[in-house]
Amino acid sequence: MTKKQKIWLWVSLGIFVIPEIVWSPIVSLFYSFAQNSNNAQLLRSSFLYHPDNRNILTSILFLQFLGLLLTTILLIKLNLKLKKPILWLLIVFLFILTIITFFLFGFSVAFNGIG
């Protein structure tokens, strides 16, 4: 892996990890969708879930989606050269997380006017 690829890998990971540590939007939204009740609770309260801040939440979810997508693509390119099975497991996990983030971003855009 070249130095340029390593830098892009860390930047794309940072785009996902930093907002997730600070506000944890993906974990909280996925937790609220996974509950089987009419009164779903968030895992962790944040200013992002206030109806006035929907655009900020949508922007952060888009950045996280972009970071996960770039990380997954870079790891696929790396693993095509290395062919390590443990790296494929990480790639599959990141791909599933990318799909979840994409759907949460879609819900955030679709329900922007509700609330």
pLDDT average, residue stretch 62-66: 94
Report how far residue 63's alpha carbon sits from residue 53's, in angstroms, rounded to the nearest whole number: 16
Q: Is 8 within 8 Å of 74 (Cβ atoms)?
A: yes
Q: How far apart are CA 47 and CA 55, in angstroms?
A: 12
Q: pLDDT higher for 26 or 104?
A: 104
Report pTM: 0.79
User: Which pLDDT does position 93 carry in this prediction?
Assistant: 94
Concatenate the DSSP letters of all residues of 5-58 into one string: HHHHHHHHHHHHHHHHHHT-HHHHHHHHHH--SSS---SS--GGGSGGGHHHHH
Per-residue pLDDT, 115: 46
* The predicted structure's pLDDT at residue 41: 67
pLDDT band per the 50, 70, 90 thresholds, residue 57: confident
